[in-house]
Amino acid sequence: MADVLLKTLSGGLDQFLWTDAVDIAIITILLYKLIVLTKETRAYQVLKGVGVLFIAAIISDAFQLPTLSWLLSSLVSTGVILAVVLFQPEIRRGLEHIGRGNIFSKDFFGGIINEPQKIIGELHQAVMDLARRRVGALIVIERRTGLGDIVSTGTQIDGRISAPLVENIFEPNTPLHDGAMIIREGIIVAAACILPLVEDIAVARELGTRHRAALGISSVSDSITIVVSEETGVISVARDGKLIRYIDSKALRDLLESIFVPEQSGNGFSLFKRRAKDERR
């Protein structure tokens, strides 16, 4: 048995040419760059889904399951076409990176959130101060789903989170007070960003544009959005297409701890959720 296996491997290596190695290397680099270009956008989730279907199609073909193999191959082909149609902006930006020649210079590796307790304290203070003064705010905290397409609609900040900075951004009659702030890995990456509005007619009519925008982004990503009402000063949170209103100071801190230090926050979001009024769509 071992002799047969060795002969098979030897025969396969004899047929492996240097051009095959170059071919594999080029495909590997292209796939890696495709993943890198889309990892900070919503297209990344679709790309992962297509990748899973592709691997399943290869496995089914190896086990000689023709019907399943045909079905999965068809889904992969359809998924690629659908991704091209739905994510034209991301594809266009990727081609622009290639055209500018800086595709290899961009830093695509995620960082580690430093000083999480300080971030929690500063963000908590800022939100509570904004609510007390009834200054409208819309703060989106990115999680696994990249929001690079949303970030590109605003003004780049790349600043460390501090209460004065957050409050100054949302101060009325300033250039950046309209739109959303995007936080990624403990850094304010952009402000005055445009979010998609929820289109569900069942959403309460008393909700303003900020709340509809928070529901909109939470419906298409796993982000968590904090909203401060300009009219009432009420703090709300949107997640998974649901809006939770009337958040108090303790519930807000529980939420922030579940985001930035989840290993120390017990049940995380469930602890926070029990302290709030859940207003479902």
Domains in the chain with CATH codes: 2-100 (no CATH), 116-279 (3.40.1700.10)
Tens-place pLDDT, residues 101-155: 544 444 333 344 568 899 999 999 999 999 999 999 999 999 888 888 899 899 9
Q: What is the mean pLDDT of residues 69-90?
A: 70
pLDDT in tens, 162-215: 999 999 999 998 999 999 999 998 899 999 999 988 876 566 666 788 999 999
Dist CA 239 CA 221 (whole Å): 9
190 near 202, Cβ under 8 Å?
no
What is the reported pTM? 0.62
Tokens describing residue 249: 């100071």
Does the pLDDT value for residue 281 go beyond 50? no
Burial class (CB in 10 A: 0-12, 13-18, 19+), 121: middle
